Amino acid sequence: MSEQLHVQQSVSGFIASAPQLSYTDRGDARFYVKIGQEHFSRNDNGSFTKQDTTFHDLVAYRRTAEVAHERFAKGDNFVAEGYVRDYTYTDAEGNAAQGSEFIARKIGHDLARTTYNVDRSRRSTPGRAAEAPAPTAAPPATTARQAGMSI
């Protein structure tokens, strides 16, 4: 019997707002950012035309939230694994409105767009998987997106 490959939804983009860390009523850490996704269309000659950037909500909870808040800054490029959650809320005019957010179970810097160094030293906590300290990311201005390069 072969093992089944576990897959989840993913999202990539850039951190468009200052990361926020808050706590739920149960005391769980909650990370929130507005993310941006750039969109391009392919032209007949093989070049690309930039379309409008879209913005979305991304949240993470518990330990992922705490680590994400420590490691991410506005402008960072990321890749996240998780799922989309749709919800209903009351807008400023008091009307019911629909929204959605990406719940990130795992999140990291996009290695195709971020320069960083990896520290592979092991954590000293027994019984837990090894966890490296935060990668040292290059300043956001060095990313291809912010340098004005086509992606």
- Residues 8-34: pLDDT tens digits? 999 999 999 999 999 999 999 999 999
Residue with structure tokens 């409008």? 52
When comparing pLDDT for 150 and 64, which is higher? 64
Q: What is the pLDDT of residue 118?
A: 82
Cα–Cα distances (Å) from 75 to 20, 70, 95, 125, 147, in that order, read 14, 14, 33, 32, 12
Judged by phi (left if over 0) then psi (alpha if -120 to 50, else beta), residue 114 lies in beta
- Residues 83-128: pLDDT tens digits? 999 999 999 999 999 999 999 999 999 998 988 888 898 866 655 5
DSSP 121: P
Q: What is the pLDDT of residue 117?
A: 86
- Do 41 and 48 form a contact (C-beta atoms < 8 A)? yes
Burial 114-143 (b: 16+ CB within 10 A, else e): beeeeeeeeeeeeeeeeeeeebebeebeeb
Torsion of CA 106, 111, 115, 116, to 10 degrees: 50
Domains of the chain: 9-115 (2.40.50.140)
